[in-house]
Amino acid sequence: MNMMVPPSHNSLHYFCQILLSLVLLSLHMLTPLEAYGSKVEHLPGFQGPLPFELETGYVGLGEANDDMQVFYYFVKSESNPQKDPLMLWITGGPGCSSISGLLYQIGPVAFENKEYDGSVPSLVSRPQSWTKLCSIIFVDLPLGTGFSYAKNVTAHRSDWKLVRDAHQFLRKWLIDHPEFLSNEFYIAADSYSGIPVPALVQEISNGNEKGLQPLINLKGYLLGNPLTTFKEQNYQIPYAHGMGLISDELYASLQRNCKGEYIDVDSGNELCLRDLQYFHECLSGINTFNILDSYCEDDPHLWRRSLIQELKSSPSSHLKVPELSCQIYSFYLTTKWANEESVRKALHIREGTIGKWERCYMNDFEYDIFGSVEFHANLSKKGYRSLIYSGDHDAVVPFISTQAWIRNLNYSIVDDWRPWFVNGQVGGYTRTYSNQMTFVTVKGSGHTAPEYTPDQCFGMFTRYYLTLKLMAQRLNSFLVFQGPLPFELETGYVGLGETDDDMQVFYYFVKSENNPQKDPLILWLSGGPGCSSFSGLAHQIGPFAFEIKEYNGSVPSLVLRPHSWTKLSSIMFVDLPLGSGFSYAKNVTAHRSDWKLVHHTHQFLRKWLIDHPEFLPNEFYIGADSYSGIPVPPILQEISNGNEKGLQPLINLQGYLLGNPFTTHKEYNYRIQYAHGMGLISDELYSSLQRNCKGEYIHVDSKNELCSKDLRSFDELLSGINMDNILDSLCEDDMRRRRRPLTRELIPSLSSHLTVPEISCYIYGFYLSATWSNNESVRQALHIREGTVGKWYRCYNTDFEKEIFSSVEFHANLSKKGYRSLIYSGVLDAIVPFMSTQAWIRDLNYSTVDDWRPWFVNGQVGGYTRTCSNRMTFATVKGSGHTAPADAPEQCFAMFTRWISNLPL
């Protein structure tokens, strides 16, 4: 192996190198325009003195002093600039200013996100700046980018010219800054710069080997969501499928008709071209830089381009004001800031060198490097370290394409696929190879990962630079509602037994806030089995929610929920099965099974309607989620059968709604495929699981040791993931529910959450629920019968008998009877993955009347939907987990509103 070893700091050779550099510097200073760097004393928009040292300047590259001038921003390490690494940062595009890295991603300042008032945009400190640990040169290349300029810009804009200009810039800059010659040196970049940067690293290495002065202490490079080969864009189709953006049918058709080639498609292949057109339509409203982020109309070239076109950034200056909530609002602020005269003076910009500053300038760029894989391979042979990281919600350069070219390097694995952690939470997944290359996914992040998830990326960067492994560490009342209630609430009991106190079902009933005489009536059951319907009332679709603030010992405060489904319907939230919430029975255990839950719900409903005859004409629906996907279809069938038999009172049954519904125990098998599609397990483990388990991951033959081994690896990898929402925090308070392996059955926690979880945890609301419901004044206000139940538990699943193992046949029967249904899935739910729900719906074998397409809320994609001829509508909800209305209330309210009003989503 021909590895260049940097000279020792104490060697005579190193002393001579410094001496030579000083001589070159003295000669260099004879041409004052060729290099120029000045300290920035203040930044307009930043209050007070700068808490870091910033230098800006130019380095001349041409034969004449002013032929080609490269502008840079240099921030010294805030820790120990004498010893900390030195990094050169190049932003992608090609042709986007490095100010993108400085102000949006890894620099020490950022724009304050507030409405522009005409003054200089305000800057604030970024606590996760990478300059905490290293010195960074942010350089505007290629020429014509940012504040860099040349006499003939067009002549200097290509991949290879960028490589050579950056190489020349770096050596000249180090001659001017010899104090950094001994520091370890890295190059970092993102996006399109994944093409030229590996070539640049190789050029620097080759220069060192040839003895070019000054020698550079090159150690490696970092690339974020890097474009590496234009062919890798073929992976955008399987990525979109894995993330639930296109249907199974379209994906299968694309595979069949295009045969894996989605870029250079034969113009005569009409079937492939038709599928690709449909693909574009499905993703036309998606922010491809982060599929969970808003799609903003201000920059159609950047945010609405076809996924299979070349990666190009918009030249837009963003002088049209985008929405404040849009990511590109910061681009608008940057343009305002960089074109301020006071800012240009502070940055020492040479007058008359450039006109209006643009964030990205990509005119006349020549693409003459079509892949960088060979450079990665060469650099690996030379022993340079590399960190390749991918935001897992980037659809421009999907993580699976990056995995693919790394895998094709064919290096052995020294640290296999596993989660890495930040503050006890999974930050993503990682693998390290024998060529000193580390691959990392960043959970919940997009194309510019440090911009979306600064804490995770700073943790990743810190460990990488400190040469630490990214280790997977196991850490191991309405009485306080301000003012009168703006809705009508009734609570009570319905007795089911032969005697008055034999079996008592508790309910909360909220009248529609619109027109209760005509609006639909809904019965809501929570999942579990055995979770109180208070979960639906207070945490998902009811008119109030807990105010999330530190508990002070008083009754937890309630606030109004603006997206309550009671705006359009009357809802009774029922505590069933018996033993749930405030429901009770003399012998609870004898009444806890699937079929008893079915019969009790049917009996409850008819008795409740006898007591509330004014609601008999209203259209009636049942809504539920999670485990209730098993008993609810049989409940509907029993109600329908009762109507047909003439049971009184007749119920105006119209249909049902199910969220992330458990439907068949076999659908757990889809969790493996889901975890792979979401980037939680490696390609290799997925292939091994398929090969060794043959699609059966639940009832595994005890002699099948290979499958069992793979499943153990699978469970270990996901042990730190919150399966209710894979992007949410995993909280230690409820390990039985939150940390169970995905291959085990759905078992909710018995915990009443009286131990205090972190306030940032989703389950903090459950803690407030338990505290509130066990308060004596609350029980009195709710009219809870004294002595009937002891401590209130959100979920109680003891002694529940599971007798119904699939509800698919009931869906089929209800479809034949013409009942409407809405089945919705939060796409981030790993408990009941959307693809398993799609599968059983597909198996019903009904024709499609409204095929797979996006549905929108306020101009943004809310998810995807399809309606079948059996009046069943399936919808995914973007960015939400197992209880979708809790995670995405606005989207779910819009979905519910349209469906309940018989309108298309």
Domain limits, the chain: 44-230+364-465
Judged by DSSP in three states, 493 sits in strand
pLDDT of residue 797: 82
Check whether 312 has a pLDDT greater than 70: no
pLDDT of residue 464: 84
The CA distance from 833 to 843, in Å, is 16
Question: What string of DSSP letters covers 46-90?
Answer: B-SS-SS-EEEEEEE-SSSTTSEEEEEEEE--SS-TTTS-EEEEE
In the 8-state DSSP scheme, what is residue 612? -
DSSP3 helix / strand / coil % (the chain, rounded to 5)? 35, 20, 45
pLDDT of residue 154: 83
pLDDT of residue 113: 84
Check whether 533 has a pLDDT greater than 90: yes
Report which of residues 586 and 661 the model is more confident about: 661
Question: What string of DSSP letters covers 477-492?
Answer: -GGGSSSS-SS-EEEE
Check whether 278 has a pLDDT greater than 60: yes
Catalytic position from the list 318, 393, 447, 882: 447
**Cβ-based neighbours of 241, under 8 Å, separated by 6 or more:** 248, 250, 251, 677
Rounded to 5 degrees, what are φ and ψ at 475?
-90, 70
The pTM assigned to this predicted structure is 0.83
Q: Are the C-beta atoms of 530 and 631 separated by less than 8 Å?
A: no
Among residues 615, 629, 598, 594, which one has the least CA distance to residue 797?
Answer: 594
Check whether 430 has a pLDDT greater than 80: yes
Average pLDDT on 180-199 reads 96
For residue 343, what pLDDT band results from cuts at 50, 70 and 90? very high
pLDDT of residue 314: 42
User: Per residue, what are the HEC states of 562-606?
Assistant: CCCHHHCCEEEEECCCCCCCCCEECCHHHHCEHHHHHHHHHHHHH
Of all residues in the chain, the percent with pLDDT exceeding 70 is: 88
Catalytic position from the list 394, 519, 733, 829: 394
For residue 144, what pLDDT band results from cuts at 50, 70 and 90? very high
For residue 316, what pLDDT band results from cuts at 50, 70 and 90? very low
Q: Which residue has the tokens 């609405």?
A: 304
For residue 204, what pLDDT band results from cuts at 50, 70 and 90? very high
Average pLDDT on 58-84 reads 89
pLDDT of residue 295: 85
The CA distance from 498 to 318, in Å, is 72
pLDDT of residue 65: 58
Average pLDDT, the chain: 87
Looking at the DSSP assignment, which residues form a beta bridge with residue 433?
Answer: 413
The CA distance from 143 to 59, in Å, is 12
The CA distance from 517 to 538, in Å, is 24
pLDDT tens digit string along 606-628? 999 999 999 999 999 999 999 99
For residue 483, what pLDDT band results from cuts at 50, 70 and 90? low
For residue 587, what pLDDT band results from cuts at 50, 70 and 90? confident
pLDDT of residue 294: 85
pLDDT of residue 317: 45
For residue 328, what pLDDT band results from cuts at 50, 70 and 90? confident
The helix or strand, by DSSP H or E, that contains position 877, with its residue range, turns out to be strand 872-877
Q: Are the C-beta atoms of 620 and 612 separated by less than 8 Å?
A: no
Average pLDDT on 893-903 reads 95
Q: Are the C-beta atoms of 393 and 225 separated by less than 8 Å?
A: no
Q: For the chain, state the CA radius of gyration.
A: 31
Report which of residues 640 and 796 the model is more confident about: 640
For residue 296, what pLDDT band results from cuts at 50, 70 and 90? confident
Active site residue 724: no
Check whether 109 has a pLDDT greater than 80: yes
Lowest mean pLDDT among 59-68, 243-252, 483-492: 59-68
For residue 66, what pLDDT band results from cuts at 50, 70 and 90? low
Lowest mean pLDDT among 251-255, 358-362, 464-468, 669-673: 464-468
For residue 34, what pLDDT band results from cuts at 50, 70 and 90? very low
Average pLDDT on 432-438 reads 91
In the structure encoding, which two tokens stand for residue 47, read together?
Answer: 């209050």
For residue 649, what pLDDT band results from cuts at 50, 70 and 90? very high
The helix or strand, by DSSP H or E, that contains position 558, with its residue range, turns out to be strand 558-560
Average pLDDT on 300-312 reads 36
Check whether 307 has a pLDDT greater than 80: no
pLDDT of residue 499: 66
The CA distance from 142 to 94, in Å, is 8
Size (the chain), residues? 905
* CATH for 44-230+364-465 (3.40.720.10, 3.30.565.10, 3.40.50.1820, 3.90.440.10): 3.40.50.1820
pLDDT of residue 903: 93
Average pLDDT on 46-56 reads 94
pLDDT of residue 745: 40
Among residues 58, 68, 184, 47, which one has the least CA distance to residue 120?
Answer: 47
CA torsion 770→771→775→780, rounded to 10°?
-40
pLDDT tens digit string along 246-258? 999 999 999 999 9
- Residue 724 half-sphere exposure, CB side, CA atoms within 13 Å? 26
Average pLDDT on 389-417 reads 94
Check whether 518 has a pLDDT greater than 90: yes
Average pLDDT on 870-892 reads 96
Active site residue 191: yes
In the structure encoding, which two tokens stand for residue 752, read together?
Answer: 């009443």
pLDDT of residue 481: 54
Check whether 889 has a pLDDT greater than 60: yes
Report which of residues 231 and 11 the model is more confident about: 231
For residue 87, what pLDDT band results from cuts at 50, 70 and 90? very high
pLDDT of residue 320: 61
Average pLDDT on 74-80 reads 95
pLDDT of residue 325: 73
Catalytic position from the list 100, 148, 191, 580: 191
The CA distance from 265 to 123, in Å, is 47
Check whether 32 has a pLDDT greater than 50: no
pLDDT of residue 36: 64
pLDDT tens digit string along 764-789? 889 899 999 999 999 999 999 988 88
